Amino acid sequence: MASKSSIERFIESFCNDVEHIITEKKKRGESSTDIIYSIINLFFDKITGAGFSMDLDAYLEEEMERKSKKCFDIAQKSVESFKESNGNIKNITDSHVIKIEKITDETHEIDVKSFKKRIDEFQRDLIEELTRANNVIQSLENEIIELQKQSNIDPLTKLYNRKALKIDASELLKYSDERDLNIAVLMIDVDDFKQINDKFGHVAGDKVLILLSKLFKSLIRECDKAYRYGGEEFTILFNRAKREDALKIAQRILKAVRNNKVIYKNQVICITLSMGLTVHQKGDTLESMIERADTALYQAKREGKDRLVIR
């Protein structure tokens, strides 16, 4: 745990640097977006340099726990809402049964007008309670959908994250011990990405990752999914794809990336990719497929980058 004095020094230093960044970038006429990106990148660089990366990791873990707790809270609210609605509906039913029994006169003949009035009241009360319950359920459902999106989507690229990859692969590989499946895994790494960050800055690096994510989504099929595996590394999971199908799409991606460039502050950033492709073999797990695809990717790096290797 960092001491109070070290945190105070870090905050003071960071605030001074932020003030300097804002002043300098405003002089150069840079946009508010660029200024914010620079401040965010500075924060992460300084927090790592100050030795607070473990504290940051702990904070991120707490955030994940908080979101998990929120999911449980939503589920609990749902149960409580159902219980409340059931109780309300029972009370409505019981009260109207008593009222309906009282509309019979001494000759045991039913007053039709009173009976109809009670039925109408019963129906109205019931519909109001069901409408209220439906509104609560819809609100909770929307919260759950939003939480699911947040937990499975990478915030920068809007691609699926590694957690989503594990979930999806688990579903596709249910029968992997029984037979070969028409599944393929493509591992992708941006060539010389560190040099792009060092030369053009982290904002430019982010723009490269965003461009790539858009290209991936536009070039894969509806049954395939693209994931940000980590940093500048991506994964594409091909479903119902033979080797030739996955190969064609991978080559299409390579070509599209060569032909697309990022323009940042009047500077052209050229991008190439190294790729490793593997297809499912009987008994494969996600880990074994990624290991083979990674081995192929590093072979592509050794052979000169900007290429695809299949294993």
Report the catalytic residues.
232
140's tokens: 């909770």
In terms of DSSP bridges, do strands 307-310 and 273-279 run parallel, antiparallel, or are they unpaired? parallel
CA-based nearest residue to 204, from 259, 250, 266, 256: 266
* DSSP structure string for 56-124: HHHHHHHHHHHHHHHHHHHHHHHHHHHHHHHHHHHHHHHHHHHHHHTTB-TT--B-HHHHHHHHHHHHH
The 3-state DSSP class for residue 223 equals coil
> Cα–chain-centroid distance for residue 104?
62
